[in-house]
Amino acid sequence: MHMTLYLALDNEGSVSRAADPADLMACNCAALRKAARRVSLLYDRHLASSGLTIGQYAILAEIAGWSEGEAPTLSALAQALVMDRTALSHTLKPLERDGLIRLESDQRDRRARLVSLTMLGRERASVARSCWVEAQAHFSKTFGGDQAIALQALLRIVADVDFGEIRQ
């Protein structure tokens, strides 16, 4: 059995063992997913009283961020959220069922579907926003304010990088 040991230099110039790149613990995707699940649990706990999950709130907040009177198409919303259109459609069903969003055909292009918030959706998003602010404060206090800012900057870079995936 052949095993390669990878070594790295720390800030003081000392040699330390680094993870094998094939090691699951060194997998960037696995680390991001674990961190995302941990942080999502925190936000979901804070948002529970609003009746929304952090994923649902993120969708409502994204829709609300579009210009007044200009609803995004399903495709534009999926792209803004970095989601697959099919997954987004699935995620929107409970929001539509609960009367928080409205899906309708675009008058300019009947093939496109527009997504807009209902009055109830705006109210629920407003309630959830105060819960979200509490979650943000909890995260920053626990993780460290400067580290939270640095993390967010890094994650924006990661989200904007074109890894060569197929776009819809």
8 confidence band (pLDDT: 50, 70, 90): low
Q: Tell me, what's the pLDDT at 21?
A: 58
- pLDDT, tens only, 29-45: 889 999 999 999 999 99
For residue 6, the cross-strand partners are 18
Residue carrying the six token digits 């706990």: 45
- pLDDT, tens only, 85-125: 999 999 999 999 999 999 998 788 878 899 999 999 999 99
Q: Tell me, what's the pLDDT at 5?
A: 46
Query: Can you name the CATH fold of 6-160?
Result: Arc Repressor Mutant, subunit A (1.10.10)
Domain boundaries, the chain: 6-160
Residue carrying the six token digits 């003081």: 12
Radius of gyration of the chain (CA): 20
